[in-house]
Chain A
């Protein structure tokens, strides 16, 4: 940790607390959909921590992979699993988007 001034150490401490809290939340969340959202927040907190300890390259990687890519892959996997469970084998799934609650079916 290269925090030479008190301000940087303070930032590191806040980021560490944030990471601990969100990581605990992620571990305690059982529903994968919510877990994806919490993981996204955890990625953001980790990125803040990496910026605070002066590792912006790692922070960018963490932001791109941890906050965007991993939750997206989890959500897509959950979607596939639920479609299979719902028995949509014969009928095409009509939702092209990523949230059934956010979209309504078009009149066609």
Chain B
């Protein structure tokens, strides 16, 4: 395809998109008014299923299929990163040696690690009641665990983070979401249908399948992010690439014009 053809195709497509988008926008409800047709229906549906956090009710009940798609994207992205960043045949693994950590850094990390993990678990567990949920809490859990790396060193982090376990947990979380959908299909008649007893409003067990799907997402996101960060850490700390004996220019992280040591 020549340059001119490409430009023509782009301009035609852009014109069609602009016209369709403008046409669609004219049909939208006015911005900033007191009428929220979708919001009202979503809140009513969430209350009907006794889920206090309407956002979680939308994510894990009303539009759970969308969330399943998103979680699959995350799973595939982590899988892709693992495949890309794995140790190649010509790369060596060298154990990093520990270095002295400032006492204040060590104290702060040691004090914050349990607090952060607890906050992460709380955010996941209360996803159906208060803001937050599996995704937010999962990321907090995963990043919080890496305080072990900041406060101590890489070997301590490796001990608190058995990678094989988290890899398996990642797959388990993704599989549990799909399995819960199938359970809804068998027991209720449609995929991801909320078939469990709804419980009492504003209790931890309320919302039927919402807490379970939320927990599956929490496990998957936390393990997925841990596995993802582990691949990056492996590359940054442990894996040494061959064939780079001399200094190479322009590798300062993609900023041409900066010397590699600028910081």
Other than the given A92-B94, A106-B97, 9 more pairs (CB < 8 A) read A31-B252, A31-B258, A61-B139, A80-B235, A93-B96, A94-B99, A97-B101, A102-B102, A106-B98
Check if A64 sits within 8 Å of B143, measured CB to CB. Answer: yes
Check if B243 sits within 8 Å of A89, measured CB to CB. Answer: yes
**Given known contacts A57-B131, A96-B98, is B240 in contact with A88 (CB within 8 Å)?**
yes
Check if B136 sits within 8 Å of A60, measured CB to CB. Answer: yes
Question: In the complex, which residue of chain B has the Cβ closest to the Cβ of A82?
Answer: B260
Residues A63-95 near B (CB distance < 8 A): 64-65, 68-69, 72-74, 76-95
Check if B139 sits within 8 Å of A81, measured CB to CB. Answer: no
Using CB atoms and an 8 Å cutoff, list the residues of chain B in contact with chain A.
32, 53, 55-56, 92, 94-102, 105, 123, 131-133, 135-136, 139-140, 142-143, 146, 149-150, 153-155, 225, 228-229, 232-233, 235-237, 240-249, 251-255, 257-258, 260-263
Check if A32 sits within 8 Å of B150, measured CB to CB. Answer: no
Check if A61 sits within 8 Å of B236, measured CB to CB. Answer: no
**Given known contacts A76-B236, A86-B260, is B100 in contact with A104 (CB within 8 Å)?**
yes
Check if B139 sits within 8 Å of A64, measured CB to CB. Answer: yes
- In the complex, whether A98 has a CB less than 8 A from a CB of chain B is yes
Question: In the complex, which residue of chain A has the Cβ closest to the Cβ of B235?
Answer: A80
**Given known contacts A31-B258, A86-B260, A108-B97, is B251 in contact with A68 (CB within 8 Å)?**
no
Q: When the two chains form the complex, which single residue of B131, B154, B228 contacts A96, counting CB atoms closer than 8 Å?
A: B154
The total of chain A residues at the interface (CB under 8 A) is 47
**Given known contacts A76-B232, A77-B236, A108-B97, is B260 in contact with A85 (CB within 8 Å)?**
yes
Question: In the complex, which residue of chain A has the Cβ closest to the Cβ of B240?
Answer: A89
**Given known contacts A85-B252, A89-B241, is B97 in contact with A96 (CB within 8 Å)?**
yes
Question: In the complex, which residue of chain B has the Cβ closest to the Cβ of A30?
Answer: B255
Q: How far is the CA of A105 from the CA of B97 in the complex (A)?
A: 9
**Interchain nearest-CB distance for B234 vs A (Å):** 9
- In the complex, whether A27 has a CB less than 8 A from a CB of chain B is no
**Given known contacts A64-B143, A103-B99, is B136 in contact with A57 (CB within 8 Å)?**
yes
Check if B136 sits within 8 Å of A64, measured CB to CB. Answer: yes
**Interchain nearest-CB distance for A106 vs B (Å):** 5
Question: What residues of chain A lie closer than 8 Å to B53, measured between beta carbons?
Answer: 57
Question: In the complex, which residue of chain A has the Cβ closest to the Cβ of B153?
Answer: A96
**Interchain nearest-CB distance for B220 vs A (Å):** 15
**Interchain nearest-CB distance for A94 vs B (Å):** 5
Question: What residues of chain B lie closer than 8 Å to A105, measured between beta carbons?
Answer: 99-100
Question: What residues of chain A lie closer than 8 Å to B233, measured between beta carbons?
Answer: 76
Check if A84 sits within 8 Å of B258, measured CB to CB. Answer: no
**Given known contacts A60-B123, A92-B95, A94-B96, is B146 in contact with A80 (CB within 8 Å)?**
no
Question: What residues of chain A lie closer than 8 Å to B254, measured between beta carbons?
Answer: 32, 81
A-B contact list, 10 entries, CB within 8 Å:
A61-B139, A82-B252, A82-B253, A85-B244, A85-B249, A90-B240, A90-B245, A92-B97, A102-B102, A103-B99
Q: When the two chains form the complex, which single residue of A68, A76, A94 contacts B235, counting CB atoms closer than 8 Å?
A: A76
Q: How far is the CA of A89 from the CA of B98 in the complex (A)?
A: 19
Check if A98 sits within 8 Å of B260, measured CB to CB. Answer: no
Question: What residues of chain A lie closer than 8 Å to B232, measured between beta carbons?
Answer: 72-73, 76-77, 80
Check if A87 sits within 8 Å of B245, measured CB to CB. Answer: yes
Q: When the two chains form the complex, which single residue of A32, A60, A61, A98 contacts B253, counting CB atoms closer than 8 Å?
A: A32
Check if B247 sits within 8 Å of A97, measured CB to CB. Answer: no
Check if A78 sits within 8 Å of B253, measured CB to CB. Answer: yes
Check if A95 sits within 8 Å of B139, measured CB to CB. Answer: no
